[in-house]
Amino acid sequence: MSAPFDQLKLPVGVSVDLARCDAADTSSWRRGKRKGEAALPRLRGELNRLQELFYADARHGLLVILQGMDTSGKDGVIRHVFEGVNPQGVRVSSFKQPTPEELAHDFLWRVHRDAPAKGEIVIFNRSHYEDVLIARVHHFVPQRVWSKRFDAINAFEHELVEEGNTILKFFLHISREEQARRLEERIQDPTKRWKLNPADFHERRYWNDYQSAYEDVLERTNTAWAPWYLLPADHKWLRNLAISAILVDLLKRMKLRYPEPKVAVGALKLG
């Protein structure tokens, strides 16, 4: 039986042409926006229950990687999908411009430190993939350097999986037109102006370069052990619904269980 939104998972070895991928496509959910939004509260409740069980089970780690152009909804996913989960077992890591200490090490050093512990869900809001995206687009390192990083990333993710982690990678695919609409909304809405960043407007000049870089990422790091989901993200409701359903389905398939108590329960007596 197919998992929910399984059609969004990229088959290993396929070529990706983002210009031919409709960022507003809703064919993965044919029951309409209203029913999609109505399904979200139930999925949140299921995710909250399963996350607590995942934390108690403590046999696995889960890494959720969110990548996408500015305004694609990485913060929105964290806010809406993970609303209500126990913060004791969920952590968000964001990778900004490297510090001098981080630059003194290999590019994966700072990332490995933030990998999930057993029982922990870690969300990467941007990730090690910035080192083959922005580093490439802005020529921070030469091609001979960034082109080798794809193999290093695949090996790193394989190591995490071999150590008992599961990796879910979501590329939030939005159109250039939708990005413009969301940036304009931030300008017009006083409650969203705090999000305004001149860099977001500057990076739009490099849209085509980023699309090419993302196509390489999706082709060269889409592996059997760490697959990419190419998620149409022009519609926020579909984005949130798909990620919620994929997470819930994954956790259900893990056959999680509460561990046996470490004490003889029958011998415990209240004083």
CA gap 87, 167 in Å, rounded: 19
Span 146-172, average pLDDT: 97
Helix (H) or strand (E) holding 243: helix 236-253
Residue 35 has pLDDT above 80, yes or no: yes
- 19: which DSSP letter? G
pLDDT score recorded for residue 97: 85
List the structure tokens of 238.
């579909």
Comparing 268 with 163, the larger pLDDT belongs to 163
What secondary structure does DSSP assign to 165-216, as a single string?
EEEEEEEEE--HHHHHHHHHHHHH-TTTGGG--HHHHHHGGGHHHHHHHHHH
- Please report the sign of the dihedral spanned by the C-alpha atoms of residue 130, residue 174, residue 209, residue 217: positive
Across residues 80-85, what is the average pLDDT?
92
pLDDT at residue 1, as a whole number: 47
What CA–CA distances, in Å, run from 263 to 53, 59, 259, 267? 19, 20, 12, 8
Mean pLDDT, range 188-216, rounded to an integer: 94
- Domain segments of the chain as ranges: 6-178+205-254
* pLDDT at residue 4, rounded to an integer: 79
The CATH topology of domain 6-178+205-254 is Rossmann fold (3.40.50)
Average pLDDT over residues 259-264: 86
Pairing type for strands 121-125 and 90-94 reads parallel
The CA-based angle 190-192-195, given to 5 degrees, is 130
User: Read out DSSP for 115-130?
Assistant: SPPTT-EEEEES-GGG
Asked whether residue 245 carries a pLDDT value surpassing 70, the answer given is yes
Average pLDDT of the residues of the chain: 95
pLDDT at position 265 is: 82
Q: How confident is residue 2, by pLDDT bands cut at 50, 70 and 90? A: low
Residue 114: beta bridge partners?
Answer: none
Token pair for residue 241?
Answer: 């619904």
**CA atoms of 165 and 117, how far apart (whole Å):** 9
Task: Identify the pLDDT of residue 263.
Answer: 84
Return the percentage of the chain with pLDDT > 70, whole number: 99
**Tokens 């197919």, residue located:** 2
Q: How big, in percent rounded to 5, are the helix, strand and coil portions of the chain?
A: 50, 10, 40
Candidate from 117-131, 134-148, 188-202 with smallest mean pLDDT:
188-202
Q: Is the pLDDT of residue 50 over 90?
A: yes
pLDDT, position 75: 95
Strands (E), the chain: 61-68, 90-94, 121-125, 165-173, 228-232
- Residue 270: the pLDDT is 84
